[in-house]
Amino acid sequence: MNVVAVSTPLHPHWRWRIVNYSGETVEESEASFPTIRSAVAEGVKCLEHMNATDRSTRPALYGRPMSYPRTR
């Protein structure tokens, strides 16, 4: 899992999100932080406390994976 910092026009301060490898949000902070660094640091602390294992898989970049090579 990864910790990312997000900011939106409606909420200009930074918040952290814990996302799995599929890009789904697992947890998000309710508190806001003045800097990206402080938001990510708090998110990492939360992730370490969760001690969770991510069993998701990364999505394919270009649709279905090919089972055979294409030839012309």
| The pLDDT value given to residue 58 | 64
Distance from C-alpha of 43 to C-alpha of 12, rounded to nearest angstrom: 18
pTM over the 0.75 mark: no
User: Please, which pLDDT band fits residue 39 given cuts at 50, 70 and 90?
Assistant: very high
The predicted structure's pLDDT at residue 61: 62
- What pLDDT, on the 0 to 100 scale, is given for residue 51? 74
Give the Cβ contact number of residue 5 at 10 Å.
19
CB 34 within 8 A of CB 12: no
